[in-house]
Chain A
Amino acid sequence: MRDLVLLAVLPVLLYAMLQRPFIALAMWPWTALFFPNGWVYGVAGSIRYNLLFAGITIFTYLIQKNKPKVHFGAIGVMVLLFFAWTTISTTMAMSRPDIAWEIWGRFAKVIALFVFIVLIVEKKLHVDAILWGVVLSVGFYGNLEALKFIASGGGHMIAGMDGHVLGDRNELAVAFVMTLPICVYLLGEFGKRSQVIRIGLIGTMCLLVTAVIGTQSRGGFIAMLALGGYLFVKSDRKILLGLLAVVLVIGLSHIVSSEWTSRINSINDAGEDASFMGRVVAWKLSFIMASQNPFFGGGFKSLEYLPVWLQLSQDFFSYSWFYSGDSLPPTQFARAAHSVYFQVLGEHGFFGLAIYLFCLVGAYRKAGKVAKAARLRGGPTWLRSLASMLQLSIFSFALGGAALSFAYFDLIFTLFGLTIVLEARIMPAVLGAAAAPRLTGVPA
């Protein structure tokens, strides 16, 4: 049945995508995050949607007349440099070369998405289409899982789908948190136009919060709390957000289990928590790997390769200043880095981490700069809201990703691309148009 629905909808998508490259571009992250192949079991499952949509994006861009002038800026150049850096580190990877190159290939697709966002997106409509695609993929999955969580009285454990980029429940929780500011922006923009969209987006936000709770991810929960505080400060809709928070806390207090409460309470005892200290051990080994290979690190997935893990463990006590409690590296299996920062540090060295941080901090600051310029120069409300919400989404990733191996997530590189075009292309056009009537003496 799902196959029939997907095959019935596909021609509509293809028709629109072939008409405009930005629509194909919006469907590219949607298909990566929605993972249509994971939902169908028949003939529709044999189509490689992500490849198809990416191919259409590239094809329609190449045949497009009057292409926008290319502007990557400092962040764009650094993202490309980071990719080049990972390519070199992959050629020298300490892990199995086939695995390292497979991860490199996946990251190359993320970078291709980033490049085409910078090449194609040139106005608000394009950004809105991409953000709607995110909400209809990550938001959809959050809604569905949250409904199951509520229907089961809090018994359903929310987890990602096997084979999906968001397969891990902690990563899923951070993706849900990152989608919340996007919903806030879209609500401000489209909520007044349609009651259905307004109710749908408010409902999605409530269900995304519920879904974060349902993943039992402590990192996701902390990121959500921090985002809530930040969102409250930044938002013009403080009363609405405050009411939503009260309703959610009252509603969720009847659903969450004692298991969830005790798990969240363990945040206070992180120093004694075996799961958390296991992560600290992985961080320490990532640091040791970077210390031994400061320029290019160990390459993709090197820490998770048991021979490398065991070799690094031999130097574990040489870095006694790096506190890891009584925890020791396991000898039967290797672990992931469990932090985007230590992941990049171990896999691509100190220089790789410096480039990555430049991109992350640079995009965060650039989005803030656009929001400030829009406020000071009398720009439209949507521009300030969009920039602020992109900034909040990046903030959520930076915080939630501190305890996850999630450095090459499609959505964060999508946000990098959107931030670049927002500052270089959309803001000058919008603020220029807003200033023009004033310059000519016509009321704005």
Chain B
Amino acid sequence: MESIIWALDLVAVAYLCLWALRADKAESGSKAGKPTSARQDSRRESPDA
């Protein structure tokens, strides 16, 4: 039982990595062509950022 839960956790971690990658690609895709990324906003709004 312990090993099954442990394996499920590892699968969840793998899913997390793939989800994060897909979400980042989707965010980058939606911002393509737009001049303001979060990073650029951060620089513009906060002079010391």
Contacts and interface: CB of A to CB of B under 8 A. Distances in A.
Nearest to A31: B13
Contacts of A143: 5
A122 B13 contact: no
A433 B16 CA distance: 27
Interface string B20-35: 1101100100000000
A425 B42 contact: yes
Q: How large is the interface on B (under 10, 10 to 19, 20 to 34, 35 or more residues)?
A: 20 to 34
Given A136-B12, A425-B49, A17 B17 contact: yes
Interface string B30-49: 00000010110111111011
B44 A39 contact: no
Interface of A: 1-2, 5-6, 9, 12-13, 15-17, 19-20, 22-23, 26-27, 30, 34, 39, 66, 68-69, 71, 73, 122-123, 125, 128-129, 132-133, 136, 140, 143-144, 147, 424-426, 428-433
B16 A431 contact: no
A1 B3 contact: yes
Given A5-B10, A122-B38, A136-B12, 9 more contacts: A9-B10, A15-B17, A39-B6, A69-B39, A123-B38, A129-B20, A136-B9, A428-B41, A432-B41
B25 to A, nearest CB: 9
A125 B24 contact: yes
Residue of B5, B20, B27 ringed by the most chain A CB atoms within 10 A: B20
B4 to A, nearest CB: 10
Nearest to A73: B48
Contacts of B12: 136
B46 to A, nearest CB: 4
Contacts of B11: 9
Given A22-B24, A129-B16, A432 B44 contact: yes
A166 B19 CA distance: 28
Contact of B45 (A6, A34, A73, A429): A429
A2 B45 contact: no
B18 A12 contact: yes
Contacts of B39: 66, 68-69, 122-123, 425, 429
13 contacts: A5-B7, A19-B21, A20-B21, A20-B24, A30-B13, A69-B39, A125-B27, A136-B16, A424-B49, A425-B46, A426-B42, A428-B42, A433-B36
B17 A22 contact: no
Contacts of B18: 12, 16
A372 B7 CA distance: 41
B49 to A, nearest CB: 5
A119 B45 CA distance: 18
